[in-house]
A and B are shown apart, each in its own frame.
Chain A
Amino acid sequence: MIDQNEQNGNGSGAESKATGRRNFLKFGALAAGLTVVGGGLQKVLSQDKKENPDTTVFTRDGKVFKADKACLHEYTAPPVTNAEARIGIPGKKFTMVFDLAKCDGCKKCTESCQAMHFTESDREWIKVYKMKDAETTASYYMPKPCMHCDNPPCTKVCPVGATFKREDGIVLIDDDRCIGCRSCMAACPYSARFFNWSDPMQPVAVANIPYSPEHGFPRQRGTTEKCDFCPHMIREGKMPACVSGCPMQAIYFGDQNEDAVTNSAGVTVKFSQLLEDNSAYRLLEELGTEPRVYYLPPKNRKYPKPDMESIGKENKIEGGKSDTGMGNMAM
């Protein structure tokens, strides 16, 4: 038992690592109630065991333990190689669910995302739209990240394989390989992709770290970027920035294989049940892109509906006016 935990801690046993990761979401949900594991940091057993275990820990494969505090050390995910980043996290199928009834359009998801990825204020990897499908239908807010399609139009057209679909469902970009042709941007029906037209904003903290497609730092001029489901956070057992940043608990994230999704309040629900009970749908289903992102219809909204008149009048973005957009409402 202990041996297995040691293996997890060292990150050497491939098989047990896989099991450990498969369960991380459950772990994340339970973690709040545990004493040692706080702030989203995982702690695992180190090699020595003491006679007087004085603290409770939760291992990466879902076991509860008593252990000596002195024997514990903080777990940090081992650096991910480019080859690993292309394959993804084994055994996973990540998915995201937006409960539109809960979304009040506060854009905290966008802000958390921008803070995490150090992007400019106009770079909304997750964008909150004000939607109104027809003159007579209700308006609602709709956050839109990358759909991480299972039939992604963007990866198909990439001439150099700089954007790719991973086994865990995530569509990533390798900015070290991107030639900046912007075929993927033309191909994406969700306008999810952004281009670094000029030198991107770069905090010193991330400007000099080794590049990995999983965190996308340092960002590079002349390459494409987009929502990446925060795989570097997932590796550490944490939620993507938008999910944990949502004060309305409207965003669920999880593993489809595990059939569990969790929101910012740590509420874990059955993924299939959530979709079933709420008649979930996917955006632009008719295009056949097979998105991994689901929406729960804005039925019985808990918050005021968006004021469609305000589109284009809010100057949320510095230095630029906004487009009227109304004539362009499309679904």
Chain B
Amino acid sequence: MSKIIYPDSHIPAELSEEVIREDSMRPTMKWGRSTQLWLGFLFMVFGWGLYAYIHQLRHGLGETAMRNYVSWGLYISTFVFFIGISHSGTLVSAILRITKQDWRMPITRIAELMTFVSLCFGGLMPIIDLGRADRIANLVIFGRVQSPLMWDVMSIVTYFTGSTIFLWLPMIPDMGLMRDRLTVVDTPFKKFKKWLYKTLAIGWTGSKSQWKRLELVMTIMTIIIIPVAVSVHTVVSYIFAMTLRPGWNSTIFGPYFVAGALYSGSAVVILAMVIFRKLYHLEKYITYRHFDLMGRVVLSLTLIYGYLNLNEYWIPAYKMATSEGHLLHDLFSGSYSTAFWLCQFGTVLFPIVVMCFPKGRTPGALTVVCIFIAIGAWVKRYLIVVPTLLHPFLPIQDVPLTWSQYFPNWVEWSVTMAAFSGMVIIVTLYAKFFPMMSMWEVVHGAHIEESKRVAFEKVEHAEEINEAKTNHKKATVVG
């Protein structure tokens, strides 16, 4: 009898709990030379950025390329980009959880981690951009709730807290397991890990009531985190949309930013999936099926984002109102046209076309597409922030050349790269201490798959019997 394969198998049902756990935890047992070299490189980049930031603190923001017209530059663009990436966790983890998409289980941890790290540094970018970071306490002492920037502070702090809890909650059973397992295995940083796992497991024993409570809290968090995530990127767009400036003065900025965030965020999750699948040999868990489904998710999000892009540019472009016209001319055919059209075609149209084909949703093709999308999303944020500032209502006349044009200088690049490397440092360290798959969820998923398979086999079997019966009947009738 040939093996019946359940057609929509996302999680390897044939794998035992032990194998799943071993595969998840194996990378945390090693602290190899390559890890050290990699972290050393990242810390070098980070350290250089830190030096650049201290330089900026000592001599003022005049050390950046920003001047009076372009008063927001690479920092704020990167801020918007990072906050966008942070939507990945909510999408994959919360939205797929609430819609009971069981295939999400091997990739939820990756997505939640992406949210956490991008928020860590996303939240830092505006502080790096402050002229007087030393007065940050004024936000509390003199805070005005009428200011869009204050909405940002409130929603990002809420979202950061929420997604940290959301990352940690599903880790609790895993932490309990790893804490107990430490007594039998040998691993680097054993003492630290002992403390770490014990603290994070908060006395997890795996009793029935604990499982029940965990399930309940996770359901509550899932419901809470979705509107919070939507609010975050909406209010991030409001720091622009609440001004009168041509290019920002737009009513679709909220949904436009949220769509852009989900689109770039899920692309980055795919990239992280590709990397960890390869590095940690998770091919059995993160399958072609996952890439296909995530590809569909990104495809639909790209379609929404592309549609909003059309609205954002086509409507004012048709009318060409004076002030907006100057900006649009610059974007369509002026100094920013190359970047603008590369963004529109390379990171919207091209991904849509590629991902429409099943072959375009395989890991290889998706890697290319998602790199395009991620870089494109970043460039797009820059194109939203900078050209608008260079097209104020009143003409730019008789000012130093440095005021009337902008390109980030070494300080801004170094600090921004430090933020990126900081993100990767946290991801790397996380992956060295915690399993990159939510073990109990994958096990749970495998159980679900197993029961589905059994049910499927039963149906198949029943059909076979029915068929046999009918044949038998037919035979008797004929006989």
Contact string against B for A residues 103-130, beta-carbon threshold 8 Å, 1 for contact and 0 otherwise: 0000000000000000000100001011
- Return the chain B residue nearest A288 by Cβ: B244
Is B131 engaged at the interface, CB distance under 8 Å to the other chain?
A: yes
Is A32 engaged at the interface, CB distance under 8 Å to the other chain?
A: no
B interface: dominant SS = loop
CA distance A221 to B144 in the complex (A): 23
Is B478 engaged at the interface, CB distance under 8 Å to the other chain?
A: no
CA distance A193 to B61 in the complex (A): 16
CA distance A186 to B130 in the complex (A): 14
Is B35 engaged at the interface, CB distance under 8 Å to the other chain?
A: no
Contact call B136/A179, Cβ cutoff below 8 A: yes
Is B404 engaged at the interface, CB distance under 8 Å to the other chain?
A: yes
- Residue of A129, A160, A191 with highest tally of chain B CB at under 10 A: A160
Given contacts A179-B136, A194-B68, contact A160 B392 (CB under 8 A): no
CA distance A199 to B323 in the complex (A): 34
- Return the chain A residue nearest B153 by Cβ: A159
- Return the chain B residue nearest A194 by Cβ: B68
Q: How far is the CB of A288 from chain B (nearest CB, A)?
A: 8
Is A189 engaged at the interface, CB distance under 8 Å to the other chain?
A: yes
Contact call A321/B71, Cβ cutoff below 8 A: no
Taking CB atoms, residues of chain B closer than 8 Å to A201 are none
Is B59 engaged at the interface, CB distance under 8 Å to the other chain?
A: yes
Given contacts A159-B143, A198-B60, contact A179 B240 (CB under 8 A): no
Is A38 engaged at the interface, CB distance under 8 Å to the other chain?
A: no
Taking CB atoms, residues of chain A closer than 8 Å to B132 are 178-180, 220, 222-223
Contact call B244/A287, Cβ cutoff below 8 A: yes
- Return the chain A residue nearest B322 by Cβ: A330
Contact string against A for B residues 130-166, beta-carbon threshold 8 Å, 1 for contact and 0 otherwise: 1111011011011110111110010000000000000
Given contacts A160-B139, A317-B400, contact A330 B326 (CB under 8 A): yes
Taking CB atoms, residues of chain A closer than 8 Å to B62 are 197-198
- Residue of A129, A181, A314, A325 with highest tally of chain B CB at under 10 A: A181
- Residue of A193, A197, A224 with highest tally of chain B CB at under 10 A: A197
CA distance A179 to B394 in the complex (A): 26
Given contacts A194-B68, A320-B400, contact A186 B245 (CB under 8 A): yes
Q: How far is the CB of B475 from chain A (nearest CB, A)?
A: 84
CA distance A314 to B67 in the complex (A): 20
Given contacts A180-B61, A180-B132, contact A129 B395 (CB under 8 A): yes
Which A residues, 123 to 146, have Cβ-Cβ distances below 8 Å to chain B? 127, 129-131, 144
Taking CB atoms, residues of chain B closer than 8 Å to A193 are 68
Given contacts A196-B131, A222-B61, contact A323 B242 (CB under 8 A): no
Chain B: how many interface residues by the 8 Å CB criterion?
A: 58
Given contacts A194-B68, A322-B399, contact A156 B146 (CB under 8 A): yes
Q: How far is the CB of B192 from chain A (nearest CB, A)?
A: 38
- Return the chain A residue nearest B388 by Cβ: A186
CA distance A317 to B404 in the complex (A): 13
CA distance A172 to B245 in the complex (A): 22
Taking CB atoms, residues of chain B closer than 8 Å to A101 are none
Contact call A183/B135, Cβ cutoff below 8 A: no
Is B355 engaged at the interface, CB distance under 8 Å to the other chain?
A: no
Taking CB atoms, residues of chain B closer than 8 Å to A156 are 146-147, 242
Pick the residue among B60, B130, B142, B394 that contacts A197 (CB under 8 A).
Answer: B60
Is B391 engaged at the interface, CB distance under 8 Å to the other chain?
A: yes
Contact call B129/A187, Cβ cutoff below 8 A: no
Contact call A129/B394, Cβ cutoff below 8 A: yes
Is B311 engaged at the interface, CB distance under 8 Å to the other chain?
A: no
Pick the residue among A144, A162, A319 that contacts B400 (CB under 8 A).
Answer: A319
Given contacts A178-B131, A322-B399, A330-B323, contact A190 B148 (CB under 8 A): no
- Return the chain A residue nearest B152 by Cβ: A159
Contact call B393/A159, Cβ cutoff below 8 A: no
Contact call A182/B72, Cβ cutoff below 8 A: yes
Contact call B60/A221, Cβ cutoff below 8 A: yes
Is A312 engaged at the interface, CB distance under 8 Å to the other chain?
A: yes
Given contacts A122-B400, A186-B243, A322-B399, contact A198 B59 (CB under 8 A): yes
Contact call B399/A187, Cβ cutoff below 8 A: no
Contact call A179/B245, Cβ cutoff below 8 A: no
Pick the residue among B141, B148, B395 that contacts A183 (CB under 8 A).
Answer: B148
Is B210 engaged at the interface, CB distance under 8 Å to the other chain?
A: no
Contact call A323/B143, Cβ cutoff below 8 A: no
Contact call A187/B243, Cβ cutoff below 8 A: yes
Taking CB atoms, residues of chain A closer than 8 Å to B392 are 189, 191, 330
Taking CB atoms, residues of chain A closer than 8 Å to B399 are 122, 317, 320, 322-323
Contact call A197/B242, Cβ cutoff below 8 A: no
Pick the residue among A159, A191, A327 that contacts B150 (CB under 8 A).
Answer: A159
Which A residues, 191 to 230, have Cβ-Cβ distances below 8 Å to chain B? 191, 193-199, 220-224
CA distance A195 to B68 in the complex (A): 6
Taking CB atoms, residues of chain B closer than 8 Å to A40 are none
Given contacts A221-B60, A222-B61, contact A181 B395 (CB under 8 A): no
Contact call A199/B142, Cβ cutoff below 8 A: no
Taking CB atoms, residues of chain B closer than 8 Å to A122 are 399-400, 403
Is A328 engaged at the interface, CB distance under 8 Å to the other chain?
A: yes
Q: How far is the CB of B324 from chain A (nearest CB, A)?
A: 10
Is A293 engaged at the interface, CB distance under 8 Å to the other chain?
A: no
Is A329 engaged at the interface, CB distance under 8 Å to the other chain?
A: yes
Which A residues, 289 to 303, have Cβ-Cβ distances below 8 Å to chain B? 289
- Residue of B71, B329, B404 with highest tally of chain A CB at under 10 A: B71
Contact call B146/A186, Cβ cutoff below 8 A: no
CA distance A330 to B247 in the complex (A): 14
Is B126 engaged at the interface, CB distance under 8 Å to the other chain?
A: yes
Is B396 engaged at the interface, CB distance under 8 Å to the other chain?
A: yes
Taking CB atoms, residues of chain A closer than 8 Å to B153 are 159
Contact call A328/B391, Cβ cutoff below 8 A: yes
Contact call B243/A153, Cβ cutoff below 8 A: yes
CA distance A314 to B243 in the complex (A): 32
Q: How far is the CB of B215 from chain A (nearest CB, A)?
A: 39
Given contacts A177-B138, A322-B401, A327-B326, contact A182 B147 (CB under 8 A): no
Taking CB atoms, residues of chain B closer than 8 Å to A321 are 400-401
Contact call B61/A186, Cβ cutoff below 8 A: no
Contact call A195/B149, Cβ cutoff below 8 A: no
30 contacts between A and B (CB under 8 A): A131-B395, A159-B139, A159-B144, A160-B144, A177-B138, A178-B132, A181-B131, A183-B239, A186-B72, A186-B240, A186-B243, A187-B244, A189-B243, A189-B245, A191-B68, A191-B393, A191-B394, A194-B68, A198-B59, A222-B61, A222-B132, A224-B131, A287-B244, A289-B244, A320-B400, A320-B403, A322-B400, A326-B395, A330-B326, A330-B395
In the complex, the 6 A-B pairs of residues with the closest C-beta atoms, listed nearest first: A180-B131, A320-B400, A222-B131, A198-B62, A323-B404, A197-B62
A residues in contact (CB < 8 Å) with B: 122, 127, 129-131, 144, 153, 156-162, 177-183, 185-187, 189-191, 193-199, 220-224, 284, 287, 289, 311-312, 314, 316-317, 319-323, 325-331
Interface contacts beyond A156-B147, A316-B398: sample of 12 additional A-B pairs, CB < 8 Å, sorted by A: A122-B400, A129-B394, A156-B146, A159-B149, A177-B142, A178-B132, A181-B126, A191-B69, A197-B131, A198-B59, A222-B131, A323-B405
B residues in contact (CB < 8 Å) with A: 59-64, 66-69, 71-72, 126, 129-133, 135-136, 138-139, 141-144, 146-150, 153, 239-240, 242-245, 322-323, 326, 329, 389, 391-405
